[in-house]
Chains A and B, each alone.
Chain A
Amino acid sequence: MDRRSILKIAGTISAAVAATAAFPRIVFAAYSQKAFKNPSVEDSLNQLFGSNATTPSDDIKLKAPDIAENGAVVPIEVSTSMKADQIAFMVKENPNPLAIVANIPAGTEAMVKTRVRMGKTTQVTAVVSSNGKLYTASKEVKVTIGGCGG
């Protein structure tokens, strides 16, 4: 191999490395299997945000029922006054805790409302990513009938 082609290869490799470094989150934009199919809350956060250091915050409003009669349909609402980039929602003792990740582009309000399944009585957590930091709000929801099938 002559010198020229070696340089060419080296150039391609460094370009590829630079591309991955510049867009570490692009992987997440597609479906991140590792974050979703993960039995641990901490691991899921690591896969999603690259960190699991969270701070509880009063600026996050988490609306969920105290008692959910039907675990198959538990309405939840997460909103915050912070400038949020992403909002995630976790159900601690589900087989896979991470339920939803919402991306909030500029101009969209930091609010998401949906319905989730809950296997049993457990803590639910809203995670808000704002300026590279993670903030959380949690609540205990009692479930009368579980909704994960089985």
Chain B
Amino acid sequence: MSSIRIKAKERNGSVDVKTLMKHNMETGLRKKKDGSKIPEHWITDVTAESGGKTVFTAAFNTSISKDPYLAFKFAGNKGDTLKISWKDNTGKTDSAETAVK
């Protein structure tokens, strides 16, 4: 299962997008019991595409909460496909697609 959950709803030509990504977002500041630091591990880039166009991109820092939530709005129509993908600092990526309701 994809790590991304997307809700996209169209209203008056504007698509309201809400998305939740499952990711630990380690800051690199937390310590384990033995005092060693847990290495940082976080989503660096998020991209949203619809109809072959990039409609939104964001760069995250480690100060974004665990399991990041992101909401934005773009001009689109019902039935458009919306693809959201992320990339983290270890090079891992994931993506999910949904149809605009």
Taking a contact as CB atoms closer than 8 A, the residue among A31, A94, A105, A116 that contacts B65 in the complex is: A116
Q: Which A residues lie within 8 Å of B59 (CB)?
A: 31-32, 36, 100-102
Tell me if A114 is interfacial: C-beta within 8 Å of chain B.
yes
Complex interface residues of chain B between 27 and 79 (CB less than 8 A to chain A): 27, 29-31, 44-45, 53-66, 68-75
- What separation, in Å, do the CA atoms of A24 and B72 have in the docked complex? 26
Question: Per-residue CB proximity of A70-113 to B under 8 Å, as 1/0?
Answer: 00111101000000000000010011101111111101110111
B residues contacting A by CB (< 8 A) are 14, 27, 29-31, 44-45, 53-66, 68-75, 89
CB<8 Å pairs between A and B, sample of 11: A95-B29, A100-B64, A102-B58, A103-B58, A108-B56, A108-B75, A109-B75, A113-B70, A114-B65, A115-B69, A117-B64
| 6 A-B pairs closest in CB distance | A149-B30, A113-B71, A109-B73, A115-B65, A108-B74, A107-B75
